[in-house]
Structure 1
Amino acid sequence: MDQNTRRDKRSTKKHKHLGLKITLAVVALLVIGIGAVFGMMWNQTQSTFNKIYDSDGTKHDTTIKQKKPFSILLLGADTGADGRISRGNSDTIMVVTINPNTHKTVVTSVARDTLAEMVGTKSLNVQKLNAAYNIGESKMAKASVKKLLNVPINYYAAINMGGLEKIVDAVDGVTITSSMNVTFDGITITKGKHHLNGKQALAYSRMRYQDPRGDYGRQMRQQQVMMAVLKKLATPSGITKYSALMKTLEPYLRTDITLDDAMKLATDYRSNLDNVSSKQLTEKSAMINGSSYQVPSTETLQSVSDELRTQLGLSKETLSNQNTRLNKLNAAFFNDESSTTYNTDGAVTQYYTNTTY
C-alpha cells in the first residue's frame, strides 16, 4: 500500500453535481485573495512579500503582465496540522483558467487520488497526484498536472491546513451553518448555525469519513469556511484586517505570482469574477496495489484538455501520456461498471518519504 496516503478502500459513489457547483470561495481566494488582498499590501514591505513568493528556481512567467489567458494551480496541502512540518500532500487540487479576452474564469477540480505520472523523477513513477507536491514541490506538481491534462500551468498558489486556522482567527472567527453533525479531533460541531474559531473551523473543514459524500463533502465544507472568511473581508471593518491577515499568511502561503502581477490581477482581471463556471474531472474508483485510486478515462481526459486549451486560447491536441497508455491496457475496466481492479503492470510504485529524486 502507498505510504503517501492511507485511504478508505470503500468505493464511494460519485456525487456528480457537487463538483459542478461553482465554488465562489475558490475563485475569490485566487482572484481576490491573491489579487485584491495582495493588492492591499501597498503599505507592506517587500520583505514581507518575499516570504510568500517562491519561484521554485524556475524562470518567472510573464503571462499576467502581458494580459494574456493564464492558469493557476491551486493546492491545499495537508501540512500545518497534527504536528506536520513538511510540505505534505496536496489534498486540494484545482486548475483555474482566466481569460481576459472572453472575461471567463473556469475552475476545474481534480481528485487528489487521481492516478498520474510524477513528472521529474529519475525513473517512471505513477501514483496518486497529490504526492507530486510532496515529492518535488510546486515544480513537480505543476509539471505533473500539465502532463496529465496537456495544458500549460503558468502559476501556482499553495496554502496548508495550519494556515486555515490562523486565517479564521485573524478575522475573529466565521459563522457557518452545518447540514450535519461533524466530529473531528475531539471537537464536535452540531447541525445548525455556529460561530467558529480557527481550531473549530479547521476541525469542521477536515472531517471526511463521517460525511456520506466523502472527500467531496469535505471540499464543500472547506469552501464554505473560506467563503465565510472572504465575506468578512469584504465588509468595511474587514478591510482593516488585511494587514494582519497578510502577516498571518506568511508562514502558510506560497506562490510564484509576483507582487506586481498580483496587483494586476486586482485591476486588469477583476471583470473575470462576473463570468465563472466550474468543472470536475470525473473519474472511476479503482483498486491498485491494495490502495484506492481515482482513474479518469481517456475520453474524459481528452474532453477536459480540449475545454481547458480552448479557454486558454490554444488549439486542441490529441492527448498522449502515461494515463492514456495505461487506459488502453485496461479497456475492460471502463466497460465493466462493477470492476474496481485496474492493472498498471507494475507502473505504480511505492512511495518512500526518504527517497531522493
Structure 2
Amino acid sequence: MKKILVRVLLVLLVAALGFGGFVYYMVHNSTSQIYSYNKKTNKSSDDKTASKKSVAYLLLGTDTGELGRSYKGRTDTMIVVVVNPKSKTTTMVSVPRDTKIDFDDVTIKINAAYSYGSSATAMSAVEKLLDIKLDGYLLVNMKGLEQLVDAVGGVTVTSPLTFTTEGKSYVKNESTNLNGSEALAFSRMRHEDPQGDYGRQMRQQLVLAGVIAKLKKNPTTVVSSGFLDAVGENVRTDISLGSVKNLASDYRPASDNIKSDQLHGTSQNIDGQSFEVMSDSEITRVHNVVEQAITAK
C-alpha cells in the first residue's frame, strides 16, 4: 500500500493569504463540498482571524486515494502551521507519522489517531503531544497531491540528493520540473534517503514551495476550474470561509516568509512495531518553537 506525506495542503492557506475577496467568492461557490464531512466550523479560527491574531492549524494528509472511501486510512502527514500577521511569518512543524503516543491507554503511532476517530481526534492527539492549542485542520488525500500539482502546471524543485524513483532520476543540487505524478513519486520516496522519513518530509517541503511559487507567479490559477475542482474533490476542513476571507484580507505578508522545523525522535522497536520515540526535551523544544511563532511580533 502506498504511503505519502502530502505537504501541498498549505497551498490552500497560501492562496487565501495571497489573494482577496474575489477568491473568497469563487471558493464559496465552487468548493462548498470541502465542508460536506463536517458541517461544524472552528470558532477559535473565526475569533482569532477576526481580531488579526496568530492562528495555528493542523495539516493532515491521508494515505488513501479517495475521501469518499470506505477505508479511512491514516494521516501520514501531520504538520502544525502557524500564521502570524504581526511577525509576517508562516511556520511549519512536521510531526513524524510513527511518533509514539498513548491513546485510550493503548500505545499507537500518532498517524493512527485519525483512523480511530476523526480529524478532530488527530488534532487532539497533536495538541496533547505538544501541549498546544490548534485552531482548525485541513485534510487532503493522496490523490489530491497529484491533482493540485497538475492544476498549477507542475512545479520546479532542486533535489537534495541523487536518486532514481519510478523511472525518473534526480541529481543532487540540480533543478527539475515535475508534473503531478512525478511530484507524488518525489515526495513518496523514503528507502533510498539516508535520512529516511525525515528526508522525505524535507522533499515534501520542496514540492510545497514549488506550488507556492507557481501560485504567486500566476495568481489566476487559484480561481481556475482545475484548481478549484482539485480542492473540492480532495480537501476537507473545519476552517470557515469567513476565516479564509479574514486570512485573505489581513495575513497576506505572512506567506512571504516560511520557516520549517521537525519533531525529531529516536527509532525504537516496541512489540514488533517501529516507533519514533520523542524525548521530553525535544517535545519541549518544539512546543517552544510553536509558541514563539504564535507570540512573535
Write out aligned runs for 1:104-143 (5 A).
Answer: 104-118=89-103, 123-143=104-124
Q: Which has the higher helix share?
A: 2
Q: Match of 1:234, SS?
A: helix
Residues 161-197 of structure 1: CA deviation (Å, up to 9, x unaligned): 211111122233333344423223xx43343554332
Residue 202 of structure 1 and its aligned partner are, at CA, apart by 1.5
Answer whether contact 2:27 2:228 (CA < 8 A) is retained: no
**SS where residue 212 of structure 1 aligns?**
coil
TM-score by length of 2: 0.82
Tell which deviates more after alignment, 219-228 or 142-151: 219-228
Contact 1:55 1:256 in 2 (8 A): no
Equivalent residues of 1:41, 1:243 under 8 A apart: no
Between the aligned residues of both structures, percent identity stands at 37
Match of 1:188 in 2: 168
Map of 1:91 onto structure 2: 76
Q: Which residue of 2 aligns with 1:56?
A: 38
**Aligned partners of 1:248 and 1:5: how far apart in 2?**
20
CA distance 1:302–1:55, change in 2 (3 Å): farther
Question: How far did 1:50 drift?
Answer: 1.8
The answer to whether 1:226 aligns with 2:208 is yes
User: What code does the residue aligned with 2:102 have?
Assistant: E
1:164 partner letter: L
CA deviations on 1:194-242 (whole Å, 9 max, x unpaired) are 4332222212221111222211222222222232222222224x52463
2:154 alignment partner AA:
G
Q: 2:23 aligns with which of 12, 18, 41?
A: 41
8 A Cα contact 2:2 2:63, kept in partner: no
Q: Please, what TM-score do these two structures have when normalized by structure 1?
A: 0.69
For 1:278, the equivalent position in structure 2 comes to 260
Cα distance in 2 between the residues matched to 1:115 and 1:248: 33
Q: Which has the larger radius of gyration?
A: 1
Report how far residue 132 of structure 1 moved: 1.3
Trace 1:146-225 onto structure 2 (pairs within 5 A).
Answer: 146-178=127-159, 179-184=161-166, 187-191=167-171, 193-225=175-207
Counterpart code for 1:215: D
Task: Select 1:258's aligned residue among 240, 248, 256.
Answer: 240
In structure 2, relative to structure 1, the CA distance for the partners of 1:169 and 1:272 (3 Å cut) is closer
Which residue of the partner structure matches residue 243 of structure 1?
224
* 1:49–1:259 CA contact under 8 A, matched in 2: no
For 1:223, give the aligned amino acid.
Q
Equivalent position to 1:65, from 50, 60, 72: 50
Counterparts in 2 of 1:88 and 1:250: CA distance versus 1, 3 Å:
same
8 A contact 1:44–1:243 mirrored in 2: no
Alpha-carbon separation, structure 2, partners of 1:199 and 1:207: 13
| 1:89-117 deviation line (CA, Å, top 9, x unaligned) | 11121111233344443322211111113
Q: Whole-Å Cα distance in 1 between the matches of residues 285 and 246 of structure 2?
A: 31
User: Does residue 17 of structure 2 align to residue 32 of structure 1?
Assistant: no
Q: Is the 8 A contact 1:151 1:305 kept in 2?
A: yes
Inter-partner Cα distance in structure 2 for 1:117 and 1:143: 12
Distance 1:87 1:268, change over 3 A: farther
Structure 2 distance, partners of 1:287, 1:230, is 38
Change in Cα spacing, 1:54 to 1:216, as seen in structure 2 (3 Å) is farther
Shift of residue 27 of structure 1? 9.4
- Letter in structure 1 aligned against 2:241: L
Q: Distance in 1 between matches of 2:142 and 2:9?
A: 18
Shift of 1:310: 4.6
Contact 1:71–1:95 (CA under 8 A) maintained in structure 2: yes
Task: Report how many aligned residue pairs link the two structures.
Answer: 285
Instruction: Return the offset for 1:57.
Output: 5.8
Higher relative contact order (Cα pairs below 8 Å, separated by 6+ residues): 2
Task: Tell me, yes or no, if the aligned pair for 1:27 and 1:273 is still in contact at 8 Å.
Answer: no
Query: Could you say what secondary structure the match of 1:210 adopts?
Result: coil
Which residue pairs with 1:349 in the alignment? none
Query: What is the alpha-carbon root mean square deviation over aligned residues?
Result: 3.2
Deviation at 1:38, TM superposition (A): 8.2
Secondary structure of the residue aligned to 1:64 is helix
- 2:52, 2:204 → 1: CA distance? 31
Contact 1:92 1:111 in 2 (8 A): yes
Output the CA distance in 2 between the equivalents of 1:264 and 1:27: 18
